[in-house]
Amino acid sequence: MKLLAGICAAGQSRRMGFDKLSTPPSLHSPDTLLRRAVSAAHGLPFVVALPAESHPYHRARRDLLRPHDPCLMVENAEAGLSATLKALARYALDRDVDGLAILMADMPFITASHVETLVTLFETFGGTRIVRAQCQSGRLGYPVIFPAALLPEFETLSGDEGVQGLLERHGVKRMEMPSESPCLHVNTPEDWRQM
């Protein structure tokens, strides 16, 4: 089965006041959130969605990637997460994949093992069902893998709504993970300090 991991890294980091994806969290942890997300996609072909080249965070994020790492520019990233998701869906459809795994670059504790577990579940259902990580507490998180047949519906997304409407419309097979990692976003300065 041919899958693509789409890494959402075009966000504006408005609540942080600095580029959370390209800044190492500490001297003791020099790896950035973006590099961690790329590591989590290990084993799958992937693409990193970045803000437009004119955006002040574009260069720092692009410089963290290897020269051969595929990326796409989301020209209207300020429109919200939906713009990134639409761009990733179009990219995946152009490559004739069976499914698109959505990873959020601001989730530092997602690992390749989480992704592999979801891929196995996706393949178990023959690539026909949405599969999503669930935290130990029962909350739904990321990654989420979408069948290719649903990707055209990403064009209906708007703002920061994300994929919630699609998930409600089509249902989701959940895979419980043995931690809260699939639900831990770094969105605020307080999240950053706790990381």
Residues 134-185 pLDDT 10s? 999 999 999 999 999 999 999 999 888 778 889 999 999 999 998 999 998 8
Q: Which residues pair with 99 in a beta bridge?
A: 3, 147
104 pairs with which residues across the strands?
8
pTM over 0.85: yes
CB-based contact 135:181 (threshold 8 Å): yes
Q: Which residues pair with 134 in a beta bridge?
A: 140, 176
Nearest to 173 by CA among 99, 105, 82: 99
Q: For residue range 70-103, list pLDDT tens digits in order.
A: 999 999 999 999 999 999 999 999 999 999 999 9
Cα separation, 47 vs 100, whole angstroms: 10
CB atoms near residue 173 (< 10 Å): 15
